[in-house]
Structure 1
Amino acid sequence: MASNDVESPMPAEPETGNKATVTALYEALARGDTETVSGLLAHDLEWWFHGPPQCQHMMRVFTGESAHSEFRFEPRSVTAIDDGRVIAEGWEGAKAYWVHVWTVKDGLVTQFREYFNTWLTVRDLRRLGWEAGHESPTLWQSGPRDLATRSLPGLVLAI
């Protein structure tokens, strides 16, 4: 799968460019284009996983332990939540639900958080002081309608 120099998409707006970078990464994964995927990841990528150990599919793809076709990540939504983070979510019926939180800087993914079979709420704690009675604004929340009746453990990611 030869590819010339890998350039990450960088439109004028950082949120748009970061979303385009993450979208390009998923597209490259779907094609099995490991050269493009590796060109979009920082060499010192910080990784965090929450879920059953057997569900660390993305880690196995990135490290070459498994082929990209073993588990297909097909996002149903990709959302830029601020100037550095992009959230993607996908699900395959009631058995597999995943959320990926990507941190992108200068067109490269520098941090990756993967949540598997976990309901996620992202709140911004930076905008509020520690004043009593104020709730932090919710930036993003899991939304797979297919899993509305299923019980999933929930986490709050504070940024």
Structure 2
Amino acid sequence: MGAATAIVQRVYTAFGEGNVAAILDLVADEVDWQFVGSENLAYAGLRRNRDEVAAFFAAIPVADAIHVFEPREFIEAGEHVTVLGWEQSTALDSGEDFASEWAHVFTVKGGKITRWRGFFNTAARYGL
């Protein structure tokens, strides 16, 4: 396991503990952070700094109740780490349960996350 993967794994540990402050400590001052999804999804869109990333994490429990969140595979290529995982959640706007595999792609430079992309099956969330 390389240094970039170790930092990314710390993010997931902190997320599991609900420790957003610990996650933000691992994010660069200027960041390119985006969940790719429908603009109707509160946590979708681009964030450029730690305050905006904090707002991303604040929007998640308003939109979705996550019951199971499992990072399953870490693939490191230098400063880039791709994480494949699975989640089971409830969309709070509809009350519908959904499950989806997901992919997160991180870039880590100088011990800080400088870029993140998140993807999951948003159609499953909307019951499509």
User: Are residue 26 (structure 1) and residue 12 (structure 2) matched?
Assistant: yes
Aligned partners of 1:26 and 1:73 also within 8 Å: no
**Aligned partner letter, 1:62:** A
Residues 47-126 of structure 1: matches in 2 within 5 Å?
47-53=33-39, 54=41, 56=43, 62-63=54-55, 64-67=58-61, 70-71=65-66, 73-80=69-76, 82-92=77-87, 95-117=99-121
Q: Once the 2 structures are TM-superposed, how far is the Cα of residue 66 of structure 1 from its aligned partner? A: 4.1
Aligned partners of 1:46 and 1:110 also within 8 Å: yes
How many percent identity over aligned positions? 30
User: Are residue 38 (structure 1) and residue 38 (structure 2) matched?
Assistant: no
Q: Structure 2 stretches of 5 or more lacking a match?
A: 89-97, 123-128
Q: Once the 2 structures are TM-superposed, how far is the Cα of residue 117 of structure 1 from its aligned partner? A: 1.9
How many residues are aligned here?
103
Structure with the bigger percentage of helix = 2
Q: Structure 1 stretches of 5 or more lacking a match?
A: 1-14, 119-159
The equivalent residue for 2:2 is 16
Aligned partners of 1:45 and 1:111 also within 8 Å: yes
Question: Max radius of gyration: which structure?
Answer: 1
Which has the bigger relative contact order, CA under 8 A and spacing at least 6? 2
TM-score (normalizing by structure 2): 0.65
Change (3 A) 1:16 1:55: farther
Structure with the bigger percentage of strand = 2
Aligned partners of 1:18 and 1:107 also within 8 Å: yes
Q: Distance in 2 between matches of 1:66 and 1:113?
A: 15
